[in-house]
Amino acid sequence: MADLAAAMDRRRLVTLLSPAYLWLLVAVFLPLSAMLFFSLLTDLPQDAPDWGLTLDNYGQFLTNPTYATLLWKSLKLGVMVTLACILIGYPCALVLARTIRGRARETLFLLVILPFWSNSLVRIFSWAIVLRGNGVLERSLDWLLPFDIRLNLMFTTPAVVIGLVHSYLPYVILTSYLALQAIDDDIIEAARSMGASRWTILRRLLLPLSLPGLLAGAVLVFVPVVGSFMEPRILGGRMGTYYGTVIEDQFIAVYNWPLGAALSFILLAVVLLIIALASPVLKRART
Amino acid sequence: MTRAALPLLGRLWLALILVFLYAPILVMAAMSFNASPFYQLPFEASTVWYEKMSANPQILAAALRSVLIALATTLIATTLGTMASIALFRYDFPGKRVLQVLLFPPIAIPWLITGTAMLIFFFAVGIGRGTPAVIIGHVALALPYVIVTVTARLSSFDITLEEAARSMGAGAWTVLRRVTLPWIAPGVVAGALFAFAVSFDQFVVSYFLSEPGDSTLPVLIYTAIRKGFTPEINAISTLIITLSMTVMVLAARYSRLGGDR
Amino acid sequence: MSGVEVQNITKRFGRALALDDVTVSFPDGGFFGLLGPSGSGKTTLLRTIAGFHYPEAGRIRIGDRPVEQVPVEQRDIGMMFQNYALFPNMSVADNVGFGLRVRRVPAAEERRRIAETLDLVQLGGLADRRPAQLSGGQRQRVALARAIVTNPKVLLLDEPLSALDKSLRVDMQIELKRIQRDIGITTIFVTHDQEEALTLSDRIGILRAGRIVQVGPPREVYDRPVDAFAAGFLGEANWIPDSCLAGLDLPASPQGHRFAVRPEALAIGTAPDLARNALRGRLVQRVFAGAMATCLIEVEGSPWKLVARDRDIPDLPGAGEVWLSWAARDTIAVPA
């Protein structure tokens, strides 16, 4: 009897769940596994009938210093962008969550995270218009400042950083804001009743309590920045060769898919390592 | 620092960030109405680039393709995602936590990796590049967003409403149609809008999966930028960002994302 | 209408045994109260009869029909939930009409029966309201109307009155009893409130740890509990210390029995009443509560309680020695 009911429930459960998860299996998890397999091939099976298994693609990463250097460059870019996002975004989340109330807060919050949901490519493109030599930014500064100025920001590393910060800043604000907003007002009032200054409250209460949110935001910025290729291409020009652009080249220009797969897989390993390192703190956020 | 100065400083900071976030977009929008092709000032108002854009068959085809792909993605992801959310909410079973965790890789892994992996796999199994491949990829990226949004709405759903309906003689389908779905409808609508936005704004995965010459709007824009851009691209970009921001404002109103609950 | 028979029902949740070989019969047209502490399995039993749980073993009949394998929606029951579970997106009339709509009752008859039932629960004018616009008592009436409008075979109530405040609850108890008698429906309800169980039910079942302890009319269960748990759970019991048993007129042998007296059966005085059972004690406190008063007395080291009309308690000298007396027939005996 109970078995009968359980069997019926199980059938419903499978009917409801399996389409979504089969889709994820076919479109995400099988491809990620296939990538591991391809990264071990000498050649594409569809191109060369005499393909075989090899570790050469990973060997290339070790022997050719270009790849490691570029991965290091991408990691440094990730650190820079993440730090910038934290320094700019956390105070902003703090202001939003703790000093502004009611409908104004809702509207401002929406305004801050809205760009994050709009087309990132288009937003990077808009920076290209602003930053280009003799473009809008330089002309405005010319007009504002008495002396002549040549920023030449376009096609430099700072341009790439500005574009990426613009793209990913809302992540840090979103996650920090959610964590800060969840902190009970009573806790702050209790601290104030005990004579704590604003600085003490920030350092001893707000910062530790919102740390999981802040860290989640940092991971959400760092991971995609390390794998970015479109932003460096558009804003970095000749300076814009990074680990991500090399992978793009393997698939779009050079057609060395096995090498591209190996490079992608190494990046995936780095990403998973970072998430694993952050997860103890992130887990605390759920309790 | 005095007590009054600190909040003021905070507000100033917030204002600066909003300028940083919106200024380039507004500049781009303004330039799309500037007659000069090299963004020369003084500004001379004109809609010439919009006219050129709407006469460009490549842009129009890509725009149509982007919209159709986004609609297909929305339909599939919303249906499958809502079904999965209901199952995850209603039943307790071993492995439930694992299934919930499995939603994060599509969000957390950089699209560069997901996109290239899809490309390799789809070629290996014969799907190859093209619009079907793009849709398969987009649905996978949109599914977690739909499931998270609908699940959030479901968490405030009282399961005894379903029990009450059954005690009055309603079968599974009637319970779903008359009790559960009306309740989660705002969450489903918000999830659908998210799915549309994910697909319509998606560049990376589309870039690897679309056939050359048969690309979506963002891919077309990327190719055009790398060739040296024209203000037509500017015009279409302005339209895209207006559309996706509108969609998101609607989604936020349905899901009450953030703010005071 | 029809009665409900539950035979040898066993239900597990994982390793926990929620119902352990429960057999109980709910008579046709009766008002049956299931009473027990939390975790005793009373709600599980109700939900198993409803069909939300399927038992591992045992049989359930509603009328002549075995229903162990029948899903909820086909059992023809009416159920009221603790939080009422009114559909927030439907009007009062649509809430009440839901079960009729599902059964494809013709529209005209649907309207007639909704109106009839709303009149029965005295909500005639509120058909177009939304649940959010109703008071707690009104919601409760809608939930009741919704449960009975389809003329189900059995009405199941899960803590029906627990969400109401005290004065409203007493009104609703009377109302619920009237409606149940009017339509003569077999009713099973779950409560942890013993007073509510005594007021509403014509039969009571006490559960403990997934087993039925005692079933019977309220007075019988109250006056003749089968064990110490039943005696202590339904009403309060003053246990007579073994050292005081000598000299008392007892209904059973002191070997193998324990004895108790209800607080309201006791009389208090400064001298023993030699015609009745009497024990000496020390008055600890006298608590005045309007018409009634409670005395806390220590009898041979065990705490006793006496409840009486305040005017029936004589003036006592502060704290000190007092005598408690009661009629021999008021002594309760349970197996030790």
Helices then strands, counting H and E runs in chain A, come out as: 14, 0
Is cis: bond before B42, omega within 30 of 0? yes
Distances (CA, A) of B129 to A194, B206, B210: 65, 10, 5
- Cβ atoms B21, A173 nearer than 8 A: no
Taking the CA of residue A13 and the nearest CA in chain C, the distance in Å comes to 17
What does the pLDDT profile of chain B (261 residues) look like in tens digits? 445 566 788 889 999 999 999 999 998 888 888 877 666 666 777 888 888 888 888 889 999 999 999 999 999 999 999 999 999 988 888 888 899 888 888 888 899 999 999 999 998 888 889 999 999 999 999 999 999 889 988 888 998 999 999 999 998 889 999 999 998 998 898 889 889 988 998 999 999 999 887 889 999 989 888 887 677 888 888 998 888 888 888 877 776 544 333
- Residue B113 maps to which CATH number? 1.10.3720.10
Please check whether residue B73 lies inside any domain of the structure. yes
Do C271 and C225 lie in a common domain? no
Report the alpha-carbon distance of residue B223 to residue B231 in Å, rounded.
14
Answer positive or negative: Cα dihedral of A225, A231, A236, A241.
positive
Question: Who among A32, A123, A125 is closest to B117 (CB)?
Answer: A32
Is there a contact between C146 and B168 if contact means CB atoms under 8 Å apart? yes
Neighbours of chain B (3+ CB pairs under 8 A): A, C
Task: With beta carbons under 8 A apart, name residues in chain A contacting C56.
Answer: 1-2
Task: With beta carbons under 8 A apart, name residues in chain C contacting B165.
Answer: 87, 98
ipTM: 0.87
pLDDT recorded at residue C235: 85
Cα nearest neighbour of A8 on chain C: C71
Please check whether residue B110 lies inside any domain of the structure. yes
- Inform me whether the C-beta atom of residue B179 falls under 8 Å from chain C C-beta atoms: yes
Do C91 and C14 lie in a common domain? yes
pLDDT recorded at residue B1: 44
By residue range, what is the domain housing residue C148? 4-232
Please check whether residue B24 lies inside any domain of the structure. no
Report the alpha-carbon distance of residue C242 to residue C221 in Å, rounded.
24
Do C206 and C149 lie in a common domain? yes
- Residue C281 maps to which CATH number? 2.40.50.100
Please check whether residue B105 lies inside any domain of the structure. yes
- Residue C154 maps to which CATH number? 3.40.50.300
Is there a contact between A2 and C56 if contact means CB atoms under 8 Å apart? yes
Task: With beta carbons under 8 A apart, name residues in chain A contacting B111.
Answer: 224, 227
pLDDT tens, position by position, C276-300: 888 988 888 888 888 888 999 999 8
pLDDT recorded at residue A56: 82
Q: In this structure, what is the dihedral angle of CA atoms C68, C73, C76, C79, given to the nearest 10 degrees?
A: 100
Do C248 and C146 lie in a common domain? no
Do C220 and C242 lie in a common domain? no
Task: With beta carbons under 8 A apart, name residues in chain C contacting A2.
Answer: 54-56
Please check whether residue B109 lies inside any domain of the structure. yes
Do C263 and C172 lie in a common domain? no
Do C80 and C172 lie in a common domain? yes
Do C301 and C281 lie in a common domain? yes
Residue the block writes with tokens 């009634």: C292
pLDDT recorded at residue A284: 65
Do C290 and C219 lie in a common domain? no
Give how many domains chain C has, as a whole number.
2
- Inform me whether the C-beta atom of residue B170 falls under 8 Å from chain C C-beta atoms: yes
Please check whether residue B251 lies inside any domain of the structure. yes
pTM strictly above 0.95 = no
Taking the CA of residue C71 and the nearest CA in chain A, the distance in Å comes to 8
- From the list A121, A98, A96, the residue with the least C-alpha distance to A108 is A96
Which of C193, C210, C232 is the last residue in one of the domains? Answer: C232
Please check whether residue B6 lies inside any domain of the structure. no
- Cβ atoms A41, B127 nearer than 8 A: no
Task: Please tell me whether residue C259 adopts helix, strand or coil conformation.
Answer: strand
Do C166 and C303 lie in a common domain? no
By residue range, what is the domain housing residue B87? 57-255
Please check whether residue B241 lies inside any domain of the structure. yes
Could you tell me which residues come within 8 angstroms of residue B243 by beta carbon, excluding any fewer than 6 positions away?
A: B200
Do C12 and C99 lie in a common domain? yes
Give how many domains chain B has, as a whole number.
1
Taking the CA of residue C96 and the nearest CA in chain B, the distance in Å comes to 10
pLDDT tens, position by position, C133-185: 999 889 999 999 999 999 999 999 998 888 788 888 888 888 899 999 988 99
Interface residue of A129, A139, A245 to substitute, partner B, most B CBs within 10 Å:
A129
Do C82 and C166 lie in a common domain? yes
Residues in chain C where the model's pLDDT stays below 50: none
- From the list C105, C183, C90, C103, the residue with the least C-alpha distance to C144 is C183
Cα nearest neighbour of A177 on chain B: B258
Report the alpha-carbon distance of residue A31 to residue A43 in Å, rounded.
18
Task: With beta carbons under 8 A apart, name residues in chain A contacting B230.
Answer: none
